[in-house]
Amino acid sequence: MVFEEHVSLEVIAPSQGLSQELTLFERVANNELDCALKIWRCSNSVVVPYSISQLDQFSYAQSCLAQLGWPVITRQTGGDVVPQSPGSINVALVFKLDKSNFSIAESYQVLCEPIIHALAKLGINATCSALSGSFCNGDYNITSNDQKLVGTAQRRKKVKGCNEIAVLVHAVILCTTNTYELWSIANEFYNKCNIQKYIEFTKQTSIRELTSNHIESDFGLMKNITRDISNEVRKNMTSKEVSYEIQLQKEKSKLCHSYR
């Protein structure tokens, strides 16, 4: 298996990070690459799926938030509004799979499982579940103590010349950020865009809030979780003992239970 890693905690423009994710996705879809992991951070922004950019009030909302220092950027994966800041980490995993054997749910597991295991190393018990009032709510939120910690989205495309599909699974992890500022700006976007939704401030949390007894710096905390996620993904994807397809079949029943 050809596996690439692109890991950096340098703060970049959100459009740059999203473009790099799509480049890796296209390489998998063109059968040039089997699997790749990208971990990155970006400057303050609000990232929304393409569908929202088609709403009548989108341009007005985008202009209003730009004046507040929060540019609105579109992405190619699904989901909902996701505010971003340097206190969040983006994790993207692209890979191929046999489309006859794997559901959308199982595709999410490929990334959610390593993140849950990495969180467990910090003493955080996490699981996958929907949570009303959380940002970009879905069945594959990663939550802890009834608060959302990680949002996920994915995109699929047929691989050129074979009976496989390329999958891009993306996660944004709330690490050290001031989450109240994020939800305030996201709710402002909903209001300006005339979308009848509201993110509840108390339904979200961050790694820093869940590990307040840790003495390392915020950046040190992000380095640790990045290292552990990278190690967990690499272990799953490049195992010489068992292919990741078989490994997922063995582990899928464990995903929606807390890892202790």
- Tens digits of residue pLDDT in 71-120: 999 998 888 999 999 999 999 999 998 877 668 888 899 999 999 999 99
pTM score, whole prediction: 0.89
Listed residue (120, 225, 210) closest to 171, CA to CA: 225
202 C-beta neighbours (distance < 10 Å), count: 11
In this structure, the strands spanning 82-84 and 147-158 are unpaired
Is residue 26 within 8 A of residue 46, CB to CB? The reply is: no
**Residue 102's pLDDT is what?**
67
DSSP letters along 148-174, please?
A: EEEEEEEEEEEPTTSSEEEEEEEEEEE
Is residue 28 within 8 A of residue 241, CB to CB? The reply is: no
Which residues does the chain have with pLDDT short of 70? 101-102, 177, 213-215, 239-260
86 C-beta neighbours (distance < 10 Å), count: 19
